[in-house]
Structure 1
Amino acid sequence: MKNKENVTIKQIFDLWLPLAGSWFLMGIETPMLTAFVARMATPEITLASWGSIVYPISLAIEGPIIMLLAASTALATDRLAYNKLFKYMVIMSLVLSFIHVLVAFTPLYYILALDLLNVPESLVEPGKLGLRIMTPWTFMIAWRRLNQGTMIKYGNSKAIAIGTLIRLFSLIIILAFGRWYTNLSGIFVGSLAVAIAVTMEALYAGKAVQKILKESLPKTSNNAPINRGSFIKFYLPLAMTPLMTLLIHPAGSAGMSRMPETLSSLAAWPVVYGLIFLTRSMGFAFNEVVVSLADKPKGLFQLKRFAKVLSISTMGILVTIAFTPLGEFWFSKVSGLSSNLVELSSITIMFAILMPGYQVYQSWYGGLLVHYRETRGISEAVMIYVGLALLGLYLGTHFASVPGIYWTINVFVISGLCQTFFLRYRYKGISI
């Protein structure tokens, strides 16, 4: 699209759809995993160890590299810039992978699992096995997201959806083989499937970006060259955003471990979180669209219209699931949960209805702040979210008289709303 052309809703939709498809397919990963392992041996142990140890710790460690997608979308203006970003990606991901190894293969794991997260003893060894298998996760995510951002910037977002399909099919094949043709534990099969699937997606993204690097990416541009100082100034606030957010996930598990109905809450949590992620994924995809189109004629006006429709639509989906038999079908037939966990999960979803709606507006205001390179407001908003969430979880460990998952989801909703309003405040305060 040329700069002189007005942005239309159709153009926004065409850019957003493959990104949303990619996020949605990514979101299916957790429900797909739980659907298989819930039908294997000791499903509650497997689900609880995945949801309280393996997945949240892996996410927290890789948190600083998640925003490489937004960084490469904004900064990969020429080949030299891409090469610099690639160099920084390798350094960050190797350091984070080393941290992952320290946690998974040394006594540090027991300090984290038993003393900090306070998970039940029955989850400790399965969690350690899963975390060790997930060692390649951080590097592959970093490499993939750097290349995905470059593909978005140069108009090849459909390749991202193809890569996610490859990831999903790889996941299904390994889960199905492990479920029906081996006697391996659910945590082994599930962790191995996720690790291999994300590796396959990263390999595809690395191949798909080569055409852009050779044909579309200019050797030089008029933009100021990237150096270590400018990159840190731009990226550090972005990196802190997912890091602090993802640290809340294990904090939520730690909180639920100290609240009523511990094992049931921990077992239901990955299933509930996976469903909420599916509906929020539509809003996650909007962030890069805002960054890409905000400076185009009529861009802000049309993006704001699109945000309103998207917010209402995604909340409507969750309302339908929460208040119709579709919810019971999802948790019982699709996810394979026991009747006790079905009831627990169905009620929890009712508390989460606002989450996909405010996610759209977090992407709207956050994308605008990235576009205008005012990223400090994003990290400030996340600090507010984290501070309120930690306070709420702490209070829950002392005063909660309801199942821990109910308390935790309400803490996250209230904290997320405050984060959204602060992002709006920071955007309104910048000089454009």
Structure 2
Amino acid sequence: MNQFQSEQALSQKVIFKFWLPLAATWLMMSLEGPYLAALIARLPEPKFNLAAYGIAFSLAMIVEAPIIMMMSASTALVKDYKSFVALRKFNYRLSLALTVAMIVFSISPVFYFVTEDLIGLPHNVAYLTHLSIIILIPWPGAIGYRRFYQGILIRNNQTRFVAFGTLIRLISMTAVALLLYLFTQIPGAAVGASALSSAVIMEALASRIMANNILKKIKSDISSIEPTSELSQKEIFTFYYPLALTSILTLGVQPFVTFFVGQSRNALESFAVLPVVTSFVFIFRGLGLSYQEVVIALIGDKFEYAPQIKSFAIKLASLTAGTLIIIAFSPLRDLWLEGVSGLNQSLAEFAHLPLMIMSFFPAMTVLISFERAILVKNKHTKTITIGTATEFISILVVLAICIRYFDLVGAVAATISFVIGRMAACTYLFPPVVKALNIKS
């Protein structure tokens, strides 16, 4: 039990105040993509630069994938100074390995073999992508550094600092992007990559500074020098590698979805509306994704606060999914699709059904965040990986059946597969989660 729990009853109001800064963090991060895309679109050769920026960002995300779960790991594992040092060492090693991978990938013969020979990018797009990847070399290391200290902040009830860090990231990104946009002639893809790379470095440094008082406290805490079971690197690896595989599988499904959608009816229209639909749904999903660290931090070592945590999860799922359902099934949807996203009327109508199908997704995001948090807290991380693999396979099977045998429109088939895949994962994780809760309680 952390100090925050020992001092206050875990009411719904307390959970809300703890969760709100994390939710704000996800909402702020959801603004990055649209902002940078809008800026790049106003620079010369927007089509090539937008494509190059999007590809570079996707490739960087794949390299980053193994480090994404570091925030959950530090929230769960950093209990004293010894565990802090052990996980920091593991984090540095992993971050260094991913940075080396970025450097090797950016070597010209390697990069152009992958992008031109294997993927088939035109040379001008590949060149712009290469420039962006070089700029993004610090990205995985900065992400690992930032998420490690954010987990410590979350565990010690300093979630508002996580939101402050993201605000610093947004301000830094905006400033760099505008300066390069106004006073340089560099390509748009490089503007976007420079803004992202500098912003995440600033957020990482801010997170470390804001965690300084906590680090002083746990270093001087008498409990940290009493005999305890010290975390070994092998134990951390056993705990963490399933989480890394989970992130890799989650990000790795997208190329397969792109391939199948490309073989479907109305492929071009599907490619046009899917990013609009999924980015809008992500605003509501982010509120659920932010709940995972809340559960890890607040549920208690013996899950003594499980009833309160479950109650808040039900309210959060109802609010997020309920709001999106109201929008998706009413004329309000066109305010976003046409007014904000800029789709013409025919594409907006094309997006109606995919949006309605995905409107239930935020509730399942809350559920799977709760389930994964319980399993992380119980150190059953391999189960999470199997659940993600179940989702991955389900998406591909359903997508193939919908397109090959039912000849569905690509966007409809994709959104159906996303929903069924997530349902399969939630269903698989449910029994071990129930078992863990019953054993602890």
**What is the TM-score when the length of structure 1 is the normalising length?**
0.89
Alpha-carbon distance change, 416 to 275 in structure 1, aligned in 2, over 3 angstroms:
same
Structure 2 residue aligned with 1:28: 31
Alpha-carbon distance change, 159 to 196 in structure 1, aligned in 2, over 3 angstroms:
same
Structure 1 residue aligned with 2:95: 93
**Correspondence for 1:58 among 38, 57, 60:** 60
CA contact (8 A) 1:69 1:149 kept: yes
Structure 1 residue aligned with 2:144: 142
Shift of 1:257: 4.4
Letter paired with 1:189: V
CA contact (8 A) 1:35 1:334 kept: no
SS in 2 for 1:3: helix
Aligned partners of 1:124, 1:260: CA distance in 2, in Å? 29
Aligned partners of 1:341, 1:127: CA distance in 2, in Å? 29
Letter paired with 2:56: V
Aligned partners of 1:35, 1:262: CA distance in 2, in Å? 24
Alpha-carbon distance change, 227 to 251 in structure 1, aligned in 2, over 3 angstroms:
same
Structure 2 residue aligned with 1:316: 322
Alpha-carbon distance change, 120 to 385 in structure 1, aligned in 2, over 3 angstroms:
farther
Alpha-carbon distance change, 373 to 72 in structure 1, aligned in 2, over 3 angstroms:
same
Matched, 1:300 2:306: yes
Shift of 1:361: 0.4
Aligned partners of 2:344, 2:101: CA distance in 1, in Å? 36
Matched, 1:159 2:161: yes
1:304-345 per-position Cα deviation (integer Å, ceiling 9, x unaligned): 111111011111232244344544343444445566655555
Matched, 1:235 2:246: no
1:181-237 per-position Cα deviation (integer Å, ceiling 9, x unaligned): 555433222222222211111111121111211124534355411111111111112
Shift of 1:113: 4.0
CA contact (8 A) 2:325 2:360 kept: no
Alpha-carbon distance change, 388 to 31 in structure 1, aligned in 2, over 3 angstroms:
same
Structure 2 residue aligned with 1:172: 174
Matched, 1:428 2:434: yes
Structure 2 residue aligned with 1:188: 190
Shift of 1:284: 1.0
Matched, 1:11 2:14: yes
Aligned partners of 1:177, 1:115: CA distance in 2, in Å? 35
Alpha-carbon distance change, 122 to 146 in structure 1, aligned in 2, over 3 angstroms:
same
Alpha-carbon distance change, 414 to 115 in structure 1, aligned in 2, over 3 angstroms:
farther
CA contact (8 A) 1:385 1:418 kept: yes
Structure 2 residue aligned with 1:67: 69
Greater relative CO (CA pairs within 8 A, separation 6+): 1
1:238-387 equivalences under 5 Å are: 238-260=243-265, 265-266=270-271, 268-295=273-300, 299-336=305-342, 342-387=348-393
Shift of 1:77: 1.4
Matched, 1:417 2:419: no
**What is the TM-score when the length of structure 2 is the normalising length?**
0.87
SS in 1 for 2:134: helix
Shift of 1:32: 2.3
Aligned partners of 1:262, 1:126: CA distance in 2, in Å? 26
Alpha-carbon distance change, 268 to 44 in structure 1, aligned in 2, over 3 angstroms:
farther
Q: Which has the larger radius of gyration?
A: 2
Shift of 1:391: 3.2
CA contact (8 A) 1:54 1:131 kept: yes
Letter paired with 1:96: L
CA contact (8 A) 1:47 1:270 kept: no
Letter paired with 1:192: S
Alpha-carbon distance change, 332 to 170 in structure 1, aligned in 2, over 3 angstroms:
farther
Gaps in structure 2 of 5+ consecutive residues: none
Alpha-carbon distance change, 250 to 260 in structure 1, aligned in 2, over 3 angstroms:
same
CA contact (8 A) 1:103 1:109 kept: yes
Aligned partners of 1:68, 1:62: CA distance in 2, in Å? 11
CA contact (8 A) 1:284 1:360 kept: yes
CA contact (8 A) 2:402 2:408 kept: no
1:231-253 per-position Cα deviation (integer Å, ceiling 9, x unaligned): 11111122211121111233333
Aligned partners of 2:31, 2:396: CA distance in 1, in Å? 28
Shift of 1:50: 4.0
Identity %: 31
Alpha-carbon distance change, 13 to 20 in structure 1, aligned in 2, over 3 angstroms:
same
Number of equivalences: 431
Alpha-carbon distance change, 335 to 225 in structure 1, aligned in 2, over 3 angstroms:
same
SS in 2 for 1:77: coil
SS in 1 for 2:237: helix
Structure 2 residue aligned with 1:215: 217
SS in 1 for 2:30: helix
Shift of 1:171: 2.1
Alpha-carbon distance change, 89 to 174 in structure 1, aligned in 2, over 3 angstroms:
same
Alpha-carbon distance change, 9 to 194 in structure 1, aligned in 2, over 3 angstroms:
same
Alpha-carbon distance change, 247 to 321 in structure 1, aligned in 2, over 3 angstroms:
same
Shift of 1:429: 3.6
